[in-house]
Amino acid sequence: MPPLKMNAVAWGLLAVFGIAAPFLVYPVFAMKILCFALFACAFNLLLGYSGLLSFGHAAFLGTAGYVTGHTVKALGFPPEVGILAGTATAAALGYVVGSLAIRRSGIYFAMITLALAQMVYFMCLQMPFTGGEDGLQGVPRGKLFGVIDLMQPLSMYYFVFAIFLTGFLIIYRTIHSPFGQVLKAIRENEPRAISLGYDVEKYKLTAFVLSAALSGLAGATKTLVFQLASLTDVHWHTSGEVVLMTLLGGMGTVFGPVVGAIVVVGIQNYGANIGEWVIVITGTIFVLCVLAFRRGIVGEIAALFKEVSPAATEGGEPDQPG
Amino acid sequence: MTGIFGISIQGLLGQLLVGLLNGSFYAILSLGLAIIFGLLNIINFAHGAQYMMGAFLAWIGMRYFGVTYWWALLLSPLLVGAFGMLLERSMLKRLYKLDHLYGLLLTFGLALIIEGLFRYRFGISGESYPVTELLEGGKNLGFMFLPKYRVWVVVASLVICFVTWYVIERTKLGSYLRAGTENPQLLQAFGVNVPLMITLTYGYGVALAAFAGVLAAPIFNVNPVMGSNLIIAVFAVVVVGGMGSIMGSIVTGLGLGLIEGIVKSGMIANLLSSTFDSVPVAGSIVYPIKLLFSPEASAVTIFVIMAIVLLVRPAGLFGRER
Amino acid sequence: MKRKLLSALICAALMLQVGATAGAATKASDGVVKIGVLTDMSGTYSDLAGPGALIAVQMAVADFIAKEKPDFKIEVISADHQNKGDIAAIKAREWIDREQVDVIVDLVTTSTALAVMKVAKEKNRITLVSGAASTPITNEQCTDINVHWTYDTYALAVGTGKAVVKQGGKTWFFLTADYAFGKSLEKNTSEVVVKEGGKVLGHVLHPFPAQDFSSFLLQAQASGAQVIGLANAGNDTINAIKQASEFGITPKQSLAGLLMFITDVHSLGLKTTQGMYLTTGFYWDRNDETRAWSKRFFEKKSRQPTMVQAGDYSAVTHYLEAIKAAGTDDTQAVMAKMKATPINDFFAKNGKIRVDGRMVHDMYLAQVKKPEESKYAWDYYNIRQVIPADQAFMPLSESVCPLVKK
| C1 belongs to a structural domain | no
- Write out the DSSP string of A50-64: H----S-THHHHHHH
Interface test with A, best of C2, C90, C112 (most A CBs within 10 A): C90
Residue B27's pLDDT is what? 93
Report the residue from A116, A276, A322 with minimal CB separation from B101. Answer: A322
Identify all chain B residues contacting A282, using CB atoms and an 8 Å cutoff. Answer: 109, 112
Which of residues 223 through 262 in chain C touch B, CB cutoff 8 A?
234-235, 238-239, 242-243, 246-249
* Pure H helices in C103-212: 110-123, 153-166, 180-195
| C8 belongs to a structural domain | no
Distance from CA of C211 to the nearest CA of B (A): 7
**What is the gyration radius of the CA atoms in chain C, in angstroms?**
22
- Write out the DSSP string of A19-69: HHHHHHS-HHHHHHHHHHHHHHHHHHHHHHHH----S-THHHHHHHHHHHH
The answer to whether A279 faces chain C, any CB pair under 8 Å, is: yes
Q: How far is CA C377 from CA A20, C269, C286, C371, in A?
A: 57, 11, 15, 11
- Write out the DSSP string of B40-84: H----TTHHHHHHHHHHHHHHIIIII---HHHHHHHHHHHHHHHH
Lowest mean pLDDT: which of A1-5, B91-95, C140-144, C319-323? A1-5
CB pairs under 8 A between A and C: 106
Residue C1's pLDDT is what? 43
Question: Which comes out higher in pLDDT, residue C21 or A141?
Answer: A141
Q: Are C57 and C37 in contact (CB under 8 A)?
A: yes
The answer to whether A36 faces chain C, any CB pair under 8 Å, is: no
Burial code of C218-228, b = ≥16 C-beta within 10 A, e = fewer?
A: bbbbbbebbbb
Q: Is the pLDDT of residue B58 over 60?
A: yes
Interface test with A, best of B292, B303, B320 (most A CBs within 10 A): B303
User: Do C223 and C76 have their domain in common?
Assistant: no
Tell me the residues of C at the A interface, defined by beta carbons under 8 Å apart: 1, 5, 8-9, 12, 41-42, 46, 50-51, 78-82, 84-87, 89-91, 93-94, 97-98, 109-111, 114-115, 118, 134, 136, 141, 178-181, 208
User: Do C202 and C159 have their domain in common?
Assistant: yes
Counting as contact any 3 or more CB pairs under 8 A, the partners of A are: B, C
CATH of the domain at C344: 3.40.50.2300
Residue A6 has a CB neighbour count (10 Å cut-off) of: 18
Residue B2's pLDDT is what? 44
Report the residue from B140, B147, B300 with minimal CB separation from C246. Answer: B147
CB pair distance less than 8 Å for B100 and A322: yes
Q: What are B135-164's pLDDT values in tens digits?
A: 877 777 777 788 888 889 999 999 999 999
**Percent of chain B with pLDDT strictly greater than 90:** 30
The torsion angle over the Cα atoms of residues B94, B98, B99 and B100, rounded to 10 degrees, is 20
Residue B57's pLDDT is what? 95
- Reported confidence tier of residue B79, pLDDT bands at 50, 70, 90: very high
User: Do C145 and C239 have their domain in common?
Assistant: no
3 state SS of B141: coil
Residue C316's pLDDT is what? 94
3 state SS of A238: helix
The ipTM (two decimal places) reads: 0.80
- Reported confidence tier of residue B238, pLDDT bands at 50, 70, 90: confident
Question: Which comes out higher in pLDDT, residue A311 or B219?
Answer: B219
Counting as contact any 3 or more CB pairs under 8 A, the partners of B are: A, C
Residue A27's pLDDT is what? 85
Identify all chain B residues contacting C51, using CB atoms and an 8 Å cutoff. Answer: none
Nearest to C317 by CA among C345, C283, C359: C345
Identify all chain B residues contacting A114, using CB atoms and an 8 Å cutoff. Answer: 232, 235, 303
Report the residue from B15, B147, B300 with minimal CB separation from C215. Answer: B15
| C335 belongs to a structural domain | yes
User: Do C207 and C62 have their domain in common?
Assistant: no
Q: Is the pLDDT of residue A316 over 90?
A: no
Identify all chain A residues contacting C5, using CB atoms and an 8 Å cutoff. Answer: 16, 20, 23-24
Distance from CA of B109 to the nearest CA of A (A): 4
Terminal CA-CA length for chain A = 32
Residue B289's pLDDT is what? 76
Distance from CA of A311 to the nearest CA of B (A): 25
Q: Is the pLDDT of residue B3 over 70?
A: no
Nearest to B262 by CA among B230, B228, B311, B302: B302
Question: Which comes out higher in pLDDT, residue B103 or C1?
Answer: B103
Q: What are B6-31's pLDDT values in tens digits?
A: 567 777 788 888 888 889 989 999 99
Q: What does pLDDT average to over chain B?
A: 85
Q: Is the pLDDT of residue A160 over 90?
A: yes
Nearest to B298 by CA among A69, A221, A118, C283: A118
CB pair distance less than 8 Å for B109 and A283: yes
Q: Please name the residue of chain B whose CA is at the shortest distance from the CA of residue C236.
A: B221
Q: Are C113 and C85 in contact (CB under 8 A)?
A: no
Distance from CA of B99 to the nearest CA of C (A): 33
B222 secondary structure, DSSP code: B
Strands C381-387 and C363-368: antiparallel
CB pair distance less than 8 Å for B310 and A286: no
Q: Are C64 and C25 in contact (CB under 8 A)?
A: no
User: Do C379 and C252 have their domain in common?
Assistant: yes
Q: Is the pLDDT of residue A321 over 50?
A: no
**Percent of chain A with pLDDT strictly greater than 70:** 92
Counting as contact any 3 or more CB pairs under 8 A, the partners of C are: A, B
Distance from CA of C9 to the nearest CA of A (A): 6
Residue C28's pLDDT is what? 56
**What is the gyration radius of the CA atoms in chain A, in angstroms?**
19
Sign of CA dihedral C203, C208, C213, C215: negative
Which of residues 226 through 245 in chain A touch B, CB cutoff 8 A?
236, 240, 243
Q: Please name the residue of chain B whose CA is at the shortest distance from the CA of residue A246.
A: B105
Residue A217's pLDDT is what? 95
Q: Which helix (H) or strand (E) holds C228?
A: strand C227-231
**Percent of chain B with pLDDT strictly greater than 70:** 94
Q: Please name the residue of chain A whose CA is at the shortest distance from the CA of residue B237.
A: A111
Identify which of A197-201, A248-252, C334-338 has the greatest average pLDDT.
Answer: C334-338
CA angle B244, B112, A117 (to 5 degrees): 65
CB pair distance less than 8 Å for B311 and A100: yes
Sign of CA dihedral A269, A275, A279, A285: negative
Burial code of C258-277, b = ≥16 C-beta within 10 A, e = fewer?
A: bbbbbbbbbbbbbebbbebb
Q: Are A187 and A105 in contact (CB under 8 A)?
A: no
Q: Are C116 and C97 in contact (CB under 8 A)?
A: no
Residue C281's pLDDT is what? 92
Residue A91's pLDDT is what? 96
Q: Order of strands, edge to edge, in the sheet holding C146-148?
A: C73-80, C32-39, C103-106, C126-129, C146-148
The domain total for chain C is: 2
Strands C199-206 and C171-177: parallel
Q: What is the pTM of this model?
A: 0.83
Report the residue from C51, C78, C180 with minimal CB separation from A133. Answer: C180
Lowest mean pLDDT: which of A85-89, A254-258, B182-186, C143-147? B182-186
Range of the domain at C217: 154-280+363-387
Report the residue from B126, B140, B149 with minimal CB separation from C267. Answer: B126
Give the mean pLDDT per block of 10 residues along chain C (406 residues).
Answer: 47 42 46 90 82 93 92 90 82 88 91 90 92 88 92 88 88 88 87 91 85 86 90 86 85 86 88 88 93 94 92 94 90 92 92 93 92 91 90 89 83
Residue A275's pLDDT is what? 60
User: Do C276 and C367 have their domain in common?
Assistant: yes
Q: Is the pLDDT of residue A312 over 70?
A: no
A263 CB-near residues (< 8 Å, 6+ apart):
A245, A248, A249, A285, A297
User: Do C256 and C308 have their domain in common?
Assistant: no
Identify all chain A residues contacting C181, using CB atoms and an 8 Å cutoff. Answer: 133-134
- Write out the DSSP string of C30-44: TSEEEEEEEE-SSST
Residue A311's pLDDT is what? 45
Residue C144's pLDDT is what? 92
Kindly list the domain boundaries of chain A, sorted by start residue: 25-236
Q: What are A216-237's pLDDT values in tens digits?
A: 999 999 999 988 888 888 888 8
User: Do C126 and C228 have their domain in common?
Assistant: no
d(CA B130, CA C272): 10
Q: Is the pLDDT of residue B286 over 90?
A: no
The answer to whether A127 faces chain B, any CB pair under 8 Å, is: no
CB pair distance less than 8 Å for B98 and A320: yes
